[in-house]
Structure 1
């Protein structure tokens, strides 16, 4: 019952993170649009979504904060070299 990935081994398309991102993009931006009037409009809509996805959309992996908020609340700290 397992479906093989469409990407070839070693390509960026054969990556669970990339596949998850693409599925989210399709579900959130493409499902309600059969077509756009032109390529530029489609590119703007996808760019708008990606910007929101990376800056304002809450993600479960960062405690349901946006990436920007998460980085502000939980700054990365590196251990000091001895």
Structure 2
């Protein structure tokens, strides 16, 4: 996963026009959850390749810090974030009445995404405009990925995809996290359900 040169960081957040119905901030910088599947955060980042940008959307569980859903595409239309949520739901990683928190980008405040959340019985939550701290966990994951993956510009989108897939598996199943007691996200999820079944 060797990079070539670093390019200027590109912003993927485009504040939306006034949404049809205002969405509250249900997280309020409390990036914890009592159990898996209850509180999620997500965001979009862009990965540079010589073929053009590759966009990555993620869904992170705040209890386990596991990347439970993701999607990659050559665009950052709303379909991208819908696909990430749909994958997390299809895997059984999101409970009914869970909260999904994001920034106020147009993808996340769109009617299409709200409908996707409603279909999965998920409540929307958004931070304030221009405040990266309101979505700090999602932002921190992208910073970690870009530091640890070792690539700054890929030759092809296919190479970038493969490197990201490899990293996500490593992040969920091998990398230890101080936030969750120096366990992996997958271990944290498994331990929670073992403890719950033994109670």
Structure ID, larger Rg = 1
TM-score, normalised to structure 2, is: 0.30
Greater relative contact order (Cα < 8 A, sep 6+): 2
Match of 2:143 in 1: 23
Task: Answer 1 or 2: which has greater helix percent.
Answer: 1
The alignment status of 1:69 with 2:187, answered yes or no, reads yes
Match of 1:39 in 2: 157
* Consecutive aligned runs of 4 or more in structure 1 exceeding 6 Å deviation: none
Task: Describe the shift of the 1:33–1:67 C-alpha distance in structure 2 as closer, same or farther (beyond 3 A).
Answer: closer
List alignment gaps of at least 5 residues for structure 1: 1-5
TM-score, normalised to structure 1, is: 0.64
Cα RMSD over matched residues? Answer: 3.0
List alignment gaps of at least 5 residues for structure 2: 1-11, 16-22, 24-100, 104-131
Task: Describe the shift of the 1:63–1:34 C-alpha distance in structure 2 as closer, same or farther (beyond 3 A).
Answer: closer
